[in-house]
Each structure stands twice: as C-alpha cells, then as structure tokens.
C-alpha cells in the first residue's frame, strides 16, 4: 500500500498554527504524505477555532464541502481537531462526514487515532471530560511538544514555541478556558531546550506563545521563573536573532520585569500585543477584565517610557452585552489615546457556556455592532496612517517571510497569486516581511530572500503596510 496522504486545514490563532505544525511533523514521521488538494487526500484534518461563532460557521461550511466529496470517495477519513472538537465532541462525531474528533489535549494521539480509525473503520472520539477538573500537567502533551519540530510551515526561519497552555482568567465572553483547560506553564528547561534545537535547525525568530503569556510562572530549584527570565535565557541562544511573545494581558504582575527585559535585550522585539477589549470601565467590569481604562493607559505609558519606540497592538470587542453608545465612545476615546500601531476589532459573539452568555443579554443588534466596528476601524486607520508615514524615506530591517499573498501594489481588490509586476516595472516577485516592531513591509526582490534579514528603504505607505525598495540583504 502506498503512503496515505493527508490534507490539513487550519483555522484560528497562532496556538492553532503551532498545533497544526506539530501534527504535521508527527504524521510526517509516521510515514504519511501531504497534499494541498482535499480531493486527493486520504485523510483530511481540520484544526478548528471556537472563539467566535463565525469561526465555527466556516468550519461547518468546510465540513459540508467534505461531505459532498465523501459521497464519491467514502473511504476518505475526516478528522476535526482543536477547540471545536473539545467544545462539541460527540455532536460533531454524529455528523455523517466526521470520523475522528480530537481535542487539543489529545493531539499527541493523532497518529494512533488515524491508524485505528482506518483499520477498524469506526468513528473515534478523543476529548477531555470535565476539562476544568483535568490534571493540569499533561506529560504526553509535554513530550509531544518537546519532540516535534514546531517550525512554521509558512514562514521559513520562524517558529512558535508554546510556553504555557490554557487560561484561568475567565473573561466572561471567552470560550478559551473551557476548551483549552487550566493554565499550565512549561518547564523553562523544556522551552529553552526547544529554542536551542530550533536554532540548530536554522530558526532565527521565535515567538513565545501563551493565552496570557505574561502570566508564565514556573517553580523549580527554589526559584520562580517568569516570562522575563525566559526572555533573558532565550537571548543567550546563538542563532536566534529576534524573540517575540504573544498575547499579553494588561496586568502589573511581572510587567516591569518584562519591559526591562525588552529594553535591555536587543534580540527581544519592541512589540507588545496588549488587548484592552473596551474603553468603558462598566464594560470592562462586566467582562471581568480587572482593570480600568485609565489603569490600562498607565500601562501603555510605562511601556513607552521604558522601551522607546515600542509598537503596541490592541484587541477590542464592540457590541458587548450592555454596551451603550456612551460606552462605545469611551472605547473610541481609548483608541485615540492609545495610538496603537494596529488593532484587531471583533463584534461580540456570545459563546455557549461562557458567563456572559449565561448571565447577560446580547443587547446590541448586529447592525449596531457592524457600525461600531466600522467606526472604530476608521479611527484606528487614521492613526495607523499617521504612524506609517513616519517611515517614509527611512531604511528598516525586516525578516523576509516569503512571497506576498496579496497583490498589494496595483489593485485594491484581493487575489491569491503573488503580483509579479509593480508600478516601477520591477519583474522580481513581490515579497513580504516584518520589522522588529511588526510593521508589514512589501517590496520586490528575489524569492531566495525568504527567511533572511534584509534592509528595505520605505518609499510609500498605507495605514497597515509599508512599501519599499530592497536596500541590501543583511
């Protein structure tokens, strides 16, 4: 029998991208082949996200498509992994087209689950029962994570490294604590050992991941390690040139130490993702965020004082339960004051099982949510535009990610193929990279630059993108 081929589709956050990379590495080692075409795959895996209803709807629509394909290829095996698998369990397995349902904690078993399902030809469910009561330490997961390469399949020379799993914060709107389970930090030696191994494989940039990465804490040998300690230790590793970490929670604990590490360590990128979610103290309280808008702004001031030039990104939810126009205007005012590089804005989506869904009424209509979303985006776009213009004429250092997926230069409309011709008639492919402060830079250059550092002179800007000419390769 020739090797079985797998197609993996991934939805959601960086955590999911990392899980997808780990699953891919495990399946490769087990002898599976890979295909980009769903129609040719023997096994189709979907790594799913539950954070908003829309993310789940996209998965259901994809499953509908797979059901159709399965009518002519009944032997094709379909597995749903990740957050939706944990949240919906048996309900997903009951669908005709689904053969395997595997939660985030069962990902180390994925190869065995596929083999068993193929051999026994019966459906398999692997999720954690009573996830909040499950033992937080998970040796199988830790071993899996340490063994498999977590190189980012899409960006050469970049890798994600999880430093902690789960979340104990229970923001009232958020499903994560219910699908990813209790918080557990990984031992510092495991994290550092992994970064060393990745550096040995040519990785230049690592992104440390945690749902609340700044609450990383691990007691060993009479010392409590925090995220700042990991940053110092990771900085010592030869070959690693840039270190990032996401996502931070706006809290004072360990904040000064982390900012000091950013200021002192040249390898730690001056970029902070610090979601505020709202600018109204009433809404922040209803969200169980434990800070006020003014406290949040103080944290931003401190970051800018300690780390000059730091770029800050935010997340906001508009139309949360009970959000009035006045509350929303407080969010607008916070965004004006915060002067983010960019922010991610989401329309509140009630998630089953969360406190907000159980106790608060979803009072804001979809039309109003959409309008607030558009209005807030416009405010941020003006700020991003002002900030991006400061780069005009300057040279920036970037890590090149690869071919630009969107044709940025000539048309406003999207399209999947990289643009080969630019306004200046440059026929080299259009590449994309990021600065240390996470600005996206688009320029023309040889594809061989992917995974390399380069200097680009900025000649044109858009609110979220800088355009330029290759000055030199580092």
CA distances from 304 to 247, 381, 410, 474 (A): 18, 21, 36, 28
The interface with ligand 5AD within residues 22-51 (CB under 6 A) comprises 51
Q: Is 174 among the residues that bind ligand SF4 (CB under 6 A)?
A: yes
Per-residue exposure over 14-42, b if at least 16 CB sit within 10 Å of its own CB, e if not: ebbbbbbbbbbbbbeeeebeeeeebeebb
Give the nearer residue to ligand SF4 in terms of CB position, either 172 or 388.
Answer: 172
Report the first-to-last Cα separation within the chain, whole angstroms. 47
Q: Is 254 among the residues that bind ligand SF4 (CB under 6 A)?
A: no
CA distances from 224 to 57, 137, 171, 217, 220 (A): 42, 17, 26, 6, 6
The two tokens of residue 235 are 């900085």
Binding residue (CB under 6 A) for ligand 5AD from 43, 81, 159, 174? 174
Q: Is 210 among the residues that bind ligand 5AD (CB under 6 A)?
A: no
Q: Is 348 among the residues that bind ligand 5AD (CB under 6 A)?
A: yes
Report the nearest approach of ligand 5AD to the CB of residue 381 (Å): 18
**Quick one: which H or E segment has residue 461?**
strand 453-462
Q: Is 284 among the residues that bind ligand SF4 (CB under 6 A)?
A: no
Bridge partners (DSSP) listed for residue 367: none
169 interface partner picked from ligand 5AD, ligand SF4, none, CB below 5 to 8 A per type: ligand SF4
177 interface partner picked from ligand SF4, ligand 5AD, none, CB below 5 to 8 A per type: ligand SF4
Q: Is 369 among the residues that bind ligand 5AD (CB under 6 A)?
A: no
Q: Is 11 among the residues that bind ligand 5AD (CB under 6 A)?
A: no
Please calculate the CA angle 205-301-289 and round it to the nearest 5 degrees. 80
The secondary structure of residue 449, as a DSSP letter, is G
Which residue is associated with the tokens 């009951």? 94
Binding residue (CB under 6 A) for ligand SF4 from 34, 170, 232, 344? 170
Give the nearer residue to ligand SF4 in terms of CB position, either 52 or 408.
Answer: 52
Give the nearer residue to ligand SF4 in terms of CB position, either 148 or 245.
Answer: 245
34 interface partner picked from ligand 5AD, ligand SF4, none, CB below 5 to 8 A per type: none
Secondary structure of the chain: what % helix, strand, coil (to 5)? 40, 25, 40
Q: Is 407 among the residues that bind ligand SF4 (CB under 6 A)?
A: no
Report the nearest approach of ligand 5AD to the CB of residue 296 (Å): 13
* Contacts of residue 284, Cβ cutoff 8 Å, sequence gap at least 6: 277, 278, 291, 292, 293
**Residues 108, 140 contacting (CB under 8 angstroms):** yes
**Is the preceding peptide bond at 247 cis, omega within 30 degrees of 0?**
yes
Report the nearest approach of ligand SF4 to the CB of residue 110 (Å): 24
Report the nearest approach of ligand SF4 to the CB of residue 175 (Å): 8
Q: Is 167 among the residues that bind ligand SF4 (CB under 6 A)?
A: yes
Give the nearer residue to ligand 5AD in terms of CB position, either 51 or 398.
Answer: 51
- Please state, in angstroms and rounded to a whole number, the distance separating the CA atoms of residues 105 and 102: 8
Per-residue exposure over 74-113, b if at least 16 CB sit within 10 Å of its own CB, e if not: eebbbbbbbbbbbbbbeebbebebbbbbbbbbbbbbbeeb
Q: Is 212 among the residues that bind ligand SF4 (CB under 6 A)?
A: yes
Packed helices 325-338 and 366-389: angle between N→C axes, nearest 10 degrees? 10
170 interface partner picked from ligand 5AD, ligand SF4, none, CB below 5 to 8 A per type: ligand SF4
Binding residue (CB under 6 A) for ligand 5AD from 7, 21, 26, 52? 52
Report the nearest approach of ligand SF4 to the CB of residue 288 (Å): 8
Q: Is 177 among the residues that bind ligand SF4 (CB under 6 A)?
A: yes
Question: Applying CB under 6 A, which residues contact ligand SF4?
Answer: 167, 169-171, 174, 176-177, 211-212, 249
Question: Applying CB under 6 A, which residues contact ligand 5AD?
Answer: 51-52, 173-174, 275, 277, 315, 317, 346, 348-349, 351
């Amino acid at each position: 029998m020739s090797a079985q081929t797998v197609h993996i589709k991934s939805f959601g956050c960086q955590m999911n991208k990392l899980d997808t990379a780990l699953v891919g590495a495990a399946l490769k080692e087990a002898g599976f082949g890979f295909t980009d075409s769903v129609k040719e795959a023997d096994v189709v895996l979907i790594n799913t996200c539950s954070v908003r209803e829309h993310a789940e709807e996209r998965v259901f629509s994809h499953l509908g498509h797979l059901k159709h394909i399965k009518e002519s290829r009944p032997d094709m095996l379909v597995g749903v992994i990740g957050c939706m698998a944990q949240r919906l369990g048996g309900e997903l397995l009951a669908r005709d087209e689904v053969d395997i349902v595997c939660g985030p904690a069962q990902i180390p078993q994925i190869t065995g689950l596929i083999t068993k399902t193929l051999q026994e030809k019966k459906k398999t469910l692997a999720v954690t029962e009573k996830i909040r009561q499950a033992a937080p330490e998970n040796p199988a997961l830790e071993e899996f994570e340490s063994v498999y390469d977590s190189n980012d399949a899409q960006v050469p020379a970049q890798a994600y490294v999880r430093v902690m799993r789960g979340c104990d914060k229970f923001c009232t709107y958020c499903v994560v604590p219910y699908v990813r389970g209790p918080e557990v930090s990984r031992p510092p030696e495991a994290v550092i050992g992994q970064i060393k191994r990745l550096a040995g494989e040519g990785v230049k940039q690592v992104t440390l991941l945690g749902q609340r990465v700044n609450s990383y804490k691990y007691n060993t040998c009479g010392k409590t390690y925090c995220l700042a300690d990991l940053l110092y230790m990771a900085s010592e590793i030869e070959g690693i040139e840039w270190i990032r970490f996401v996502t931070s929670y706006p809290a004072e604990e360990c904040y000064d130490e982390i900012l000091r590490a950013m200021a002192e360590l040249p390898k730690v990128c001056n970029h902070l993702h610090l979601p505020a979610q709202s600018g109204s103290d009433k809404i922040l309280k209803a969200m169980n965020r434990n800070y006020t808008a003014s406290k949040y702004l103080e944290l931003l001031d401190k970051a800018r004082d300690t780390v000059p030039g730091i770029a800050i990104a935010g997340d906001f939810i508009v139309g949360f339960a009970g959000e009035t126009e006045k509350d929303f205007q407080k969010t607008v005012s916070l965004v004006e004051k915060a002067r983010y590089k960019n922010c991610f804005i989401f329309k509140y989506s009630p998630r089953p099982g969360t406190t907000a869904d159980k106790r608060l009424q979803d009072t804001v209509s979809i039309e109003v949510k959409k309008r607030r979303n558009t209005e807030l985006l416009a405010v941020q776009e003006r700020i991003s535009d002002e900030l991006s213009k400061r780069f005009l004429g300057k040279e920036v250092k970037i890590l090149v990610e690869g071919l630009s997926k969107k044709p940025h230069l000539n048309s406003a409309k999207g399209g999947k193929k990289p643009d080969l011709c630019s306004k200046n008639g440059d026929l080299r492919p259009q590449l994309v990279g990021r600065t240390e402060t996470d600005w996206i830079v688009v320029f023309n250059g040889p594809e061989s630059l992917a995974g390399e550092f380069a200097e680009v002179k900025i000649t044109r800007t858009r609110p979220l993108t800088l355009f330029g000419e290759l000055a030199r390769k580092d």
